[in-house]
Structure 1
Amino acid sequence: MRPLRYAINVTLDGCCHHEAGLAPDEESMRYWTDALAAADALLYGRVTYEMMASAWRRPATGAWPDWMQEWDIPFAETIDRAEKHVVSATLDRVDWNAELLQGDLEQGVQRLKQEPGRGLLVGGVTLPAALADLGLIDEYVLVVHPIVAGHGPRLLEGLRERVPLELIERHDFRSGAVAVRYRPVTSAR
């Protein structure tokens, strides 16, 4: 069974808006490129899928946009070619190496987890909260930015039950951000 990892940038006060934290730098982009490369497939809701596609899909010209730094390109290439699964009740088709995942969320994600491989990576806000409520997330990978945003969408807001976690890895960035990786404490659930 391959693990489902929830991976996201978050501010100190729990804001998950993609523009609330520090600007990406070479070190953080290398970290996220490695995280993507360690997964067999990505799992997104419609909003995250559309946001990521608008930023990271290789343009039809084949050339990456001028705004990209040289150190953005390995991330862009990794996410562009990654297999993706999109959970949506409103989309009727997807592309960008993606498959639409409709119907029962728990059954669909359990099916993906049963496939052999290194793991699945989920991002976003709404879908991960639903997956956490179902007890389907095996690891939480958070890059905590040293910023208090004060507003914006919050990490796992509205969960029905507490999820006790144990720290399994930590990485300090030169920027002051800290990557932490947790897994649920199964005996406590």
Structure 2
Amino acid sequence: MRPLRYSINVTLDGCCHHEAGLAPDQESMRYWTAEMERADALLFGRVTYEMMESAWRKPDTGAWPDWMGEWQVPFAEAIDRTKKYVVSSTLDGVDWNAELVRGDLAQMVQRLKQEPGEGLFVGGVTLPLALADLGLIDEYVFLVQPVLAGHGPTLLSGLRERIQLQLMDRRQFQSGVVALRYQPTRATA
């Protein structure tokens, strides 16, 4: 069974708005590229899908936009080519190597996890909360930014039950960002 990994940037005070933390640097982009390359497929809600597509979809011209530094291209190429599943009841269709999925979220994610492969990656705010509440996330990866945002959406706000996590890995970047990798501890009978 392939694991479902939730990865997101988060500030020290728990804000997970994409503009609240530090701007990506070369070291963090290498990290995110490696995370993308560990995923067979990405699972996004509508908002995250549209945000990521607007930033990282390769233009029809075949050339990456001028704003993108050479050090960002490997991440852009990794996310652009990866299969995507978009959970949305409001979109009529998707493209960008994506499939629109509807119906029972738990059944759909269990089916995706049963497929062979290295893993699934989920990002965003709303969809990961639902998946955490269902107990479907196998790994949590937080890039903790040395910033206090003081506003914005917070990480897993509204979680129904506490989830105990075990630290599996820790890595500090020169920028002060700390990557923390956790797995939920499972109660034994």
- TM bucket (normalised to shorter chain) is over 0.9
Q: Determine if contact 1:146/1:177 at 8 Å carries over to the other structure.
A: yes
Matches within 5 A, 1:1-189: 1-187=1-187
Alpha-carbon distance in structure 2 between the residues aligned to 1:131 and 1:149:
25
Alpha-carbon distance in structure 1 between the residues aligned to 2:41 and 2:171:
23
Unmatched 5+ stretches in structure 1:
none
Question: Per-residue CA shift, 1:26-77, capped at 9, x if unaligned?
Answer: 0000000000001100000000000000000000111101111110000000
Q: CA deviation at 1:136?
A: 0.2
Counterpart residue identity of residue 167, structure 1: L
Alpha-carbon distance in structure 1 between the residues aligned to 2:60 and 2:134:
39
Counterpart residue identity of residue 160, structure 1: R
Secondary structure at the counterpart of residue 141 of structure 1: strand
Q: Report the TM-score, using the length of structure 1 for normalisation.
A: 0.99
Secondary structure at the counterpart of residue 186 of structure 1: coil
Matched residue count: 189
Q: Determine if contact 1:164/1:188 at 8 Å carries over to the other structure.
A: no
Q: Determine if contact 1:58/1:80 at 8 Å carries over to the other structure.
A: yes
Counterpart residue identity of residue 43, structure 1: L
Alpha-carbon distance in structure 1 between the residues aligned to 2:153 and 2:71:
28
Q: CA deviation at 1:188?
A: 6.9
Work out the percentage of aligned pairs sharing the same amino acid: 74
Alpha-carbon distance in structure 2 between the residues aligned to 1:76 and 1:107:
30
Q: Report the TM-score, using the length of structure 2 for normalisation.
A: 0.99
Q: Determine if contact 1:167/1:181 at 8 Å carries over to the other structure.
A: yes
Secondary structure at the counterpart of residue 100 of structure 1: strand
Unmatched 5+ stretches in structure 2:
none
Q: CA deviation at 1:101?
A: 1.1
